Amino acid sequence: MEILFAFADVIIFAVLLAVGFFVGRIAESRHYASIRQREKLFEKVNVFTSRFPPTVSQTFDASLVSGSVVVSQDYFKAVAASLYSLFGGRVRSYESLLDRARRESVLRMKHAAMRRGASMIINVKFQTAQVPGRGVGAVELFAYGTALRAVDPNARGEVDAAR
């Protein structure tokens, strides 16, 4: 019994680590499933990082669209990242965190573009920021770009002539 009390801190740490691993894994897999499902819904909205649209034979209406998300790391990833920072090297636990944040922010940006009737987004940029917290931190990812909605140039000319 005395041995159990002597290792109580280690046992509690191990239990929290195991719970953090399994709960974090479940939450992450559910988030990825949601992302994959919504990516199919928004696959018609094309995203380009170039400044100009690939087709220049059309006339477009342009508007700014954005999407942002804050994704927090779970307890297990926080502990794993601390260990990696002690020894150096690539912190793989942050890679899935940033991947989920990037994909989620692009989906939110595509949703905003779809509401405006846009078929593509050009000049897409990403901004990231660390959100410090007590213990477990988070990352914010902000995606923005120019949403383009194809318009009929003849219809526009008639509207302009009527003014």
CB 145 within 8 A of CB 120: no
Query: How many structural domains are present in the chain?
Result: 1
Q: What are phi and psi of 43, to 5 degrees?
A: -70, -15
Task: Tell me the CATH number at 98.
Answer: 3.30.110.70
Cα distance between residue 113 and residue 146, in whole Å:
9
pLDDT at 120: 94
Q: What is the pLDDT of residues 9-46, one digit of tens each?
A: 888 888 888 888 898 889 999 999 999 999 999 999 99
Neighbour order of strands in the sheet with 59-72: 46-47, 120-131, 138-151, 59-72
pTM: 0.81
Q: Could you tell me which residues are beta bridge partners of residue 148?
A: 62, 120
The 10s digit of each residue's pLDDT in 64-96 is 999 999 988 877 777 777 777 788 777 777 888
- Domain span holding position 135: 2-162
pLDDT band at 163 (very low <50, low <70, confident <90, very high): very low
